[in-house]
Homo-oligomer: A and B are copies of this chain.
Amino acid sequence: MLALRYQNKQLNVTDVPEPEAQGSEALIRVTLAGICNTDLEIIRGYAEFEGTPGHEFVGIVENAPDKNLIGKRVVGEINAGCGNCQLCKAGDARHCRGRTVLGIHKRDGAFAEFLTLPVENLLVVPDEVPDEYAVFTEPLAAAYAILERVHINDQSRVAVIGDGKLGLLCSQVIQHKKTPIVLIGKHPDKLSIVNKYGIETALVGDINWNKEFDVVVEASGSPSGFSLALNLLKPRGTLVLKSTFHGTTEINTAPIVVDEISIIGSRCGRFEPALNLLKENMVDVKSLINETYPLKQGVKAIKHASEKGSLKVLLRNE
């Protein structure tokens, strides 16, 4: 089958053997896959991954131990636990130490014609949700995870830093809490995507808030975003850290202690609430799509996704 491979610091679309489903795994024919910033970070060395990247997908079950699943349109949670440890038994494969992670850690990912995942990771996509929306389930779940980690209500003053894909999704998800929210970014065209839904937006250069927010979500993935977040937060406020990137950041930790800030690391989320948001058409993901490439043009697609100002680039199997 065709796959976009990252190996020896090289990115190529090549022919590789089809993966074999083992144990409780299903074999899935990938219909559509999304390129995420984490994929771009992987290509910069993050997570020391080699193989097929890609963890945002929608596909059709080709084969599975549960025959009812065959032919179903599915999305899949990306962490596959060992199944035996305390965390897995408590239902938290996301933090299993022996876990594999689709396209990120010891498991080939979605930039290929086929992938395998345990059947317990799969969720059937409701008919109302087209592929182009369903492929956003994973990043939308990551955005929704904020609400499961931090108490936000209609009295909270919330800022999201970063008008990239993640920031645009986070701001829309948080808005449904009827929270006074502002999205802070550098690109008027990107900010306008959510501005039209009544979300307040601001350009980084224009803001002069000082310690006024209860919660700030750092979704820009830049060290300056981290410092800005500390300046925006009220004492005892909460900084939600969403972005992973390769390398270290220079941080002045004193304000964290002096203002008694809480920093909450937040990664993946549950797919079910994300699929519900898509089903109810409560989040605009369509406006985030820049372009769709066939898998065989994967290298070009990655290049496009890496360009400054890019939003979501998709890969389609034809």
Provide the A195-234 mask, 1 if CB < 8 A to any CB of B, else 0.
0000000000000000100000000000000100000001
Does A261 sit within 8 A of B, measured CB to CB? Answer: yes
How many angstroms between the C-alpha atoms of A134 and B2 in the bound complex? 73
Does A250 sit within 8 A of B, measured CB to CB? Answer: yes
What chain B residues lie within 8 Å of A267 (beta carbons)?
257-258, 260
Provide the A36-77 mask, 1 if CB < 8 A to any CB of B, else 0.
000000000010000000000000000000000000000000
Does A242 sit within 8 A of B, measured CB to CB? Answer: yes
User: Given A248-B252, A249-B253, A251-B251, are A266 and B260 neighbors across the interface (CB < 8 Å)?
Assistant: yes
The residue of chain B having its C-beta at the shortest distance from the C-beta of A104 within the complex is: B258
Number of copies of this chain that the complex holds: 2
A249 interface neighbour in B92, B250, B255, B262, Cβ under 8 Å? B250
Question: What's the dominant secondary structure at chain A's contact region?
Answer: mixed
Does A265 sit within 8 A of B, measured CB to CB? Answer: yes
Does A264 sit within 8 A of B, measured CB to CB? Answer: yes
Does A256 sit within 8 A of B, measured CB to CB? Answer: yes
* New A-B pairs, 16, CB < 8 Å, besides A46-B254, A244-B258, A251-B253: A94-B235, A95-B234, A95-B235, A97-B211, A241-B253, A241-B256, A243-B257, A245-B254, A249-B252, A250-B250, A251-B251, A258-B267, A261-B265, A262-B263, A263-B263, A263-B265
Q: Which residues of A contact B (CB under 8 A)?
A: 46, 87, 92, 94-95, 97, 149, 211, 226, 234-236, 241-267
24 A-B pairs (CB sep. < 8 Å): A94-B235, A95-B234, A95-B259, A95-B260, A226-B253, A244-B258, A245-B254, A246-B254, A247-B252, A248-B253, A250-B251, A251-B253, A255-B265, A256-B263, A256-B265, A257-B266, A258-B267, A259-B265, A260-B264, A261-B265, A262-B263, A262-B264, A263-B263, A263-B265
